[in-house]
Structure formats: C-alpha cells, structure tokens
Amino acid sequence: MPKYLEAEPHLSSAELERRYRQSKQITERNHYHIIWLMSQGRRVPEVAEIVGYNVERVRQIVRQYNAEGPTSLTDKRAGRSGRPCLLSAAKETELQSEVEEGFAQGQPYTGVQVAQRMSEMLGRPVYPARGWELLQRWGHRLKVPRPTHIQQDKQAGDVFKKT
C-alpha cells in the first residue's frame, strides 16, 4: 500500500487540465482541479489548501476517482430541481398539453391552478408552490407590467413613448 494517496492515471494530466478549464459546473470543475493537482504529484494537504476543501473531502474525491474513473467527478446533482416530480411522465405530459392549450386560448394558468389540477389528478392536496415549479420547468415565466412611479406625470411620459 502506498505511503501517500495518489490519483490513478485514468486520464492524462493535460486532459484533466483541459476538462478542468472547460467545465461549466462549479462542483465538477473543482473535482477536476483536485485530480489534476494530484496528478502533478502534489499531496492531499497542499491540494486541500489550494482548492479550499477539507483534507478528508479531497481524500474522498481521489478515492472515488481511483475506483470509478472520470465519471465520478461529475456533479451528481446537476439537472435535478431538488424535489421529485409528483406526477408520472404520462400525467405530466397530459397536464402540460392542457396548460399549453389554455395559454393558446388566452386563458393562462397560474401556479395555484396547476397545483389544483395536480391535486385532482393525484387525489391528494398539493401545495401551490409545486404548481409554479412545474410551470417554470416547462419554460413559463412570470408576466407582470413594468412598475410606474406614484408621482409620474402621465402626459409628460406620453411624449417620450415610441410610436
């Protein structure tokens, strides 16, 4: 057993550096940075000081990399909203088509209305926030008029409006 923890050569040092510099996810970038530094022969305490991680966490990342390879460095949380979807894929597609149809007819759904519809589909209560989360996942955004100042002079403002 080696005296010091070392990173297995799954990838070359140049490839690790390239992936570190091109990564868009912060967690993934930090993991590649750790392994890249370890591949240069640096020791765990030095790497931990450079990246600002706990020494034990650096050891954990290196051990996981040694066992599983580069796939262990990706952020496992990426692409998840943090909460599981309450509806099955078929029911979610059905609800999405219903909501899109309402938007097409000029009757937009609110998060509360989507949550009420989800409650009907599931047969149990659903918090209104879950309806808004679903609308956001489908690409809908809050649409409100721009605020106006209380003391605004409407006639003076009309002069500057674009025609």
Note the pLDDT tens digit of each residue in 48-100: 999 999 999 999 999 999 999 999 988 777 565 556 778 888 999 999 999 99
Same domain, 64 and 95: no
Q: Which of 24, 43, 73 is the last residue of a domain?
A: 73
Residues 132 and 93 in one domain: yes
**6 is written with which tokens?**
């070392």
* Mean local confidence (pLDDT), 8-27: 92
In the chain, the number of structural domains is 2
pLDDT in tens, 144-162: 778 888 888 888 878 877 7
The reply to whether 58 and 106 lie within a common domain is no
Structure token pair of residue 96: 């999405």
Query: Which backbone phi and psi does 67 adopt, to 5 degrees?
Result: -80, -40
22 lies in which domain range?
A: 13-73
CA-closest candidate to residue 34, choices 23, 97, 126: 23
Query: How remote is the C-alpha of 75 from its chain's centroid?
Result: 10
Same domain? 60 vs 103: no
The answer to whether position 107 is within a domain reads: yes
- Residue 106 is assigned to a structural domain of this protein: yes
- Dihedral of CA 108/111/116/117: which sign? positive
Contact 51, 33 (CB under 8 A): yes
| Predicted local confidence at residue 163, as pLDDT | 67
pLDDT of residue 1 exceeding 50:
no
Q: Is the pTM of this model over 0.85?
A: no
